[in-house]
Amino acid sequence: MAFRSFHPPQRVLMGPGPSDVSPRVLAAMARPTLGHLDPVFISMMDEVKALLQATFLTANELTMPVSAPGSAGMETCFVNLVEPGDTVIVCQNGVFGGRMKENVERSGGIPVMVQDDWGRAVDPQKLEDALTAHPEASLVAFVHAETSTGAQSDAGPLVRIAHAHGCLAIVDAVTSLGGTPLRVDDWEIDAIYSGTQKCLSCTPGLSPVSFGAKAREKVTGRKSKVQSWFLDLNLVMGYWGGATKRAYHHTAPINALYGLHEALVIVQEEGLDAAWARHQRNHLALRAGLEAMGLRFVVPERERLPQLNAIAIPDGVDDAAVRGLLLADYSLEIGAGLGAMAGKVWRIGLMGHGSNPRNVRYCLAALEDVLGRVKAPVARGVALDAANAVLGAA
């Protein structure tokens, strides 16, 4: 058989990530590859670091993209900060909190799980109670934006509670960075990780991380070696670490970093406040249209993420059939439910570059058509008017 070049179809990606990648990012990635110690490339790396600091709103020196997806950013935080025998409080309100537990265990730590209902924010009182019951705990971990359910937790107060009990806080911001207010220094977050393929509208495969002074001290003062050679920050810092001469650690994903650089330039051009406001406005427009159709959000209003809209699948409607028709007839991807929410919800992403009025209208029109064809009990002919009213369209 003769192999030929691969040409993917043009989709509209409105799931939980990857989101639509900006054409500017794709163009940046097609530029010539440089050597990973080329001085021109190194000065671009310095800019990537400064751009990440500006996007995380932090002055943390130890801020850089890990050369692997969001899950590797998560793992970087846990393998570096958890030493064997450490007790870690993990607040779980969805799928990703469960992965944090796995990471704690594999790092030799002892996880203490604080469970919240899926689709709700993390309850600060439950964290407070767990810390009181476990004075030996040294770390707290939680997910800021639970992509599996569409719930947003109030990160600042959770970090304050952790600190009041002498713990460092690890925060998952894979879906929040760029889409919803996030202030690493103001909220005194000790260690944070994100991903490139959600609200930064870059391709998947990189994980921006940032570590504050106390977390950094913990990493450099470890009694035991970090179990992962690749993710050991004591070694990675030699390559990404700032003023000193860069030493080879691994070959950086050069062109992927061009893409991240461009994605972060786009964020700075728009401004974080404007980007957050845009995500909120398009979420409200989508919500108006979905609710006009009679669809229901699963997360209470004040805990909703603007970039990830989880709606209940109406009774009797075939989940896979609807998503299949959207893909086949509209080239539109929306997300299925994950974990305990599989088969119960659809997850509609309005992330980064993809959070725009055109996608709001396209998704509403496509859903209205497809839901009508599968005889779902939804109102027709009203969704676009409702969305247009929010968007201020004439």
Ligand X SMILES: *Cc1c(COP(=O)(O)O)cnc(C)c1O
Least CB distance to ligand X at residue 69 (A): 3
Which residue has the closest beta carbon to ligand X? 70
To ligand X, the closest distance from the beta carbon of 391 in angstroms equals: 27
Label residue 183 exposed, middle or buried (CB < 10 Å: 0-12, 13-18, 19+): middle
| Cα–Cα dist 168/188, whole Å | 10
3-class DSSP state of 194: coil
**Least distance in Å: CB of 58 to ligand X?**
19
Minimum CB–partner distance for residue 247 and ligand X (Å): 27
CB count in 10 Å sphere of residue 345: 26
CB of 73 to ligand X, least distance (A): 8
The pair of three-digit structure tokens given for residue 56, joined into one six-digit string:
């995380």
| Distance in angstroms (rounded) separating the CA atoms of residues 31 and 28 | 6
The smaller minimum CB distance to ligand X, of residues 17 and 337, is found at 17
Beta 151-152 vs 87-92: how paired, if at all? unpaired
Beta-carbon contacts of 89 under 8 Å, excluding residues fewer than 6 positions away, are 111, 112, 114, 127, 130, 131, 134, 137, 139, 140, 141, 162, 167
- Is the distance from CB of 331 to CB of 11 less than 8 angstroms? yes
* Distant-in-sequence, close-in-space partners of 95: CB < 8 Å, separation ≥ 6: 146, 147, 148, 338, 339
Q: Which is nearer to ligand X, 77 or 143 (CB)?
A: 143
- Of 68 and 168, CB closest to ligand X: 68
Of 17 and 212, nearer to ligand X (C-beta) is: 17
**Cβ 231 to ligand X shortest distance, Å:** 13
Q: How far is the CB of 16 from ligand X (least distance, A)?
A: 6
Q: Which residue has 């409702």 as its token pair?
A: 386
Closest approach, Cβ 260 to ligand X, in A, equals: 13
Q: Please give the backbone phi and psi of residue 345, each rounded to the nearest 5 degrees, phi first.
A: -135, 160
Whichever of 321 and 342 has its CB closer to ligand X, that residue is 342
CA atoms of 209 and 188, how far apart (whole Å): 14
Q: Is 270 helix (H, G, I), strand (E, B) or coil?
A: helix
Q: Considering just the CA atoms, what is the radius of gyration of the chain in Å?
A: 21
CB-nearer residue toward ligand X: 289 or 349:
349
Binding site for ligand X (CB under 6 A): 17, 69-71, 74, 96, 143, 147, 172, 174-175, 195, 204
Smallest gap, in angstroms, from Cβ of residue 77 to ligand X?
11
Instruction: Pick between residue 131 and residue 206 the one whose CB is nearest to ligand X.
Output: 206
Antiparallel, parallel or unpaired: β 12-14 and 332-336: parallel
Nearest to 295 by CA among 362, 381, 392, 376: 376
Comparing CB distances to ligand X, the nearer of 172 and 190 is: 172
332 vs 232, 347, 348, 370, 380, CA distance in Å? 39, 13, 11, 11, 19
Q: Which of residues 53 and 197 has its CB atom nearest to ligand X in the complex?
A: 197
